Amino acid sequence: MTALLDVRELAVHYPVRARGLTRRRTGAVRAVDGVSFTVERGRTLGLVGESGGGKSTTGRAILMLQRPTAGSVLFEGVDLAGVAEGELRNLRRRMQLVFQDPYASLDPRMTVGRLVGEALDIHGLAVGRSRAGRVAGLLELVGLDPKHAGRYPHEFSGGQRQRIGIARALAVEPIFLVCDEPVSALDVSIQAQVMNLLADLRDRLGLSYVFISHDLAVVRHISDRVAVMYLGKIVEMADRDDLYDQPLHPYTKALLSSVPSPDPNVQRARERVMLRGELPSPADPPPGCRFHTRCPHAQELCRVVEPPLVSASAGHVVACHFWRELRSTPVEVTRARTSRRTS
């Protein structure tokens, strides 16, 4: 079966130009540098990593909000990179974005009814009473009272605002959503409610997600597959349980070791993987393996030769020269304990 989304060698490079009149190009910021993955219908791919690793840029490039420098994005078999802007507008009905910050992504001058119904107006999907009914149905779908359609965003809590953002994304009946850190700006007590809402909507409406987050417990709760990004590249990708139970890349192990466990005995017994240094600049990435400047297991080969993504087992790929030698070090991570209540 053909994947709903097929991303092949996606790259997004921002030019760096010299100051002065000539403004000649002196280099490039390699925000995303050769990323490939697929998303099946009704499934969720979690995209995790540190801030500055290229996750959000990847999400925007998938939707063509940021035109890629190279590579292709095949959505239902159509290469979006080669589609003209007019045709792309129609295709965007099928794919939408849920923004990170519910405080900044909603126009404070517009009522909730106008915010949710704006996409209906743009695409001519409903007018008059039909439009009002669609807006009311969308608000009810995400757990909000339709009577509040006349209120403004500042009259709602953070979790309610994110529900409004989700309702707005669903207005044009998409089948694919990019969720860019949709719960990171919310209180922990509200995150579970929004996560459960997204999971319920996926199952009820048959949606597919690319879910971007730095919180590995959150990603485990909602994802079917997980891809770990570091400095513009995917360093490991596998089915959710396979990656969490048997991580192979040192970077993945470091991320998982930072997730606290509620069991004090497990927490004390766990070996913490401490990364030294900061994330290098994507304008000047290290030669060889990009992770070698912070990797506790780096050797001379890592500093010279970039490791390719290789298959470690069925559906599990990793970019590390020494993953076989490091395979015997398991890392336990806590499963997200979340309520199924969405109200």
Backbone angles phi, psi at 278, to 5 degrees: -110, 165
Q: Is residue 7 part of a domain?
A: no
Would you state the pLDDT for residue 267? 57
Beta strand segments in the chain, E: 5-17, 25-39, 44-48, 70-75, 78-79, 95-98, 176-180, 208-213, 225-230, 233-239, 310-313, 316-318
Q: Which residues contact 20 (CB under 8 A, 6 or more apart)?
A: none
Residue 139 above 70 pLDDT?
yes
Average pLDDT over residues 292-304: 93
Q: How confident is the model at residue 2 (pLDDT cuts 50, 70, 90)?
A: confident
What value does the mean pLDDT of the chain take? Answer: 88
Q: How confident is the model at residue 339 (pLDDT cuts 50, 70, 90)?
A: very low
Q: Is 6 exposed, middle or buried (0-12, 13-18, 19+ CB in 10 A)?
A: middle
Query: Is 327 in contact with 317 (CB distance < 8 Å)?
Result: no
Model confidence pLDDT, tens digit, residues 303-326:
999 999 999 999 999 999 999 888
Q: Is residue 63 part of a domain?
A: no
In this predicted structure, which of 109-113, 217-221, 334-338 has the lowest mean pLDDT? 334-338
User: Which amino acid, 179?
Assistant: C
Q: Is residue 291 part of a domain?
A: yes
Average pLDDT over residues 239-250: 93
Residue 330 above 70 pLDDT?
no
> What distance lies between CA 135 and its chain's CA centroid?
27
Name the token pair of 212. Answer: 């971007």
Q: Is residue 153 part of a domain?
A: no
Name the token pair of 36. Answer: 């490939």
Would you state the pLDDT for residue 343? 35
Q: How confident is the model at residue 239 (pLDDT cuts 50, 70, 90)?
A: very high
- Best CA proximity match to 100, nearest among 218, 232, 21: 218
Tell me the C-alpha distance between 134 and 136, whole Å.
Answer: 5
Q: Write out the DSSP string of 274-337.
A: PPPS-PPPTTSPPSSSTTTTT-TT--HHHHHSPPPPEEEETTEEE--TTHHHHTT-----PPP-
- Best CA proximity match to 286, nearest among 71, 33, 56: 33
- Best CA proximity match to 175, nearest among 92, 102, 117: 92
- Best CA proximity match to 112, nearest among 185, 184, 182, 163: 163
Would you state the pLDDT for residue 269? 60
* Count of the separate structural domains present in the chain: 1
Q: How confident is the model at residue 133 (pLDDT cuts 50, 70, 90)?
A: very high
Residue 333 above 60 pLDDT?
no
pTM (2 d.p.): 0.88
Would you state the pLDDT for residue 16? 87
- Best CA proximity match to 335, nearest among 223, 251, 248: 223
Angle at 59 between CA 335 and CA 114, to 5 degrees: 100
Residue 338 above 50 pLDDT?
no
Q: Supply the range of the domain harboring residue 332.
A: 247-338
Model confidence pLDDT, tens digit, residues 79-102:
998 888 888 888 888 999 999 888
Residue 162 above 90 pLDDT?
yes
Q: Is residue 126 part of a domain?
A: no
- C-alpha torsion 96→98→99→104, nearest 10: 100
Q: Is residue 23 part of a domain?
A: no
Residue 262 above 70 pLDDT?
no
- Best CA proximity match to 159, nearest among 103, 118, 208, 220: 103
Average pLDDT over residues 33-49: 96
Q: Is residue 120 part of a domain?
A: no
Helix, strand, coil fractions of the chain, as percent rounded to 5: 35, 20, 45
Q: Is residue 26 part of a domain?
A: no
Average pLDDT over residues 65-70: 94
Would you state the pLDDT for residue 18? 80
Would you state the pLDDT for residue 336? 37
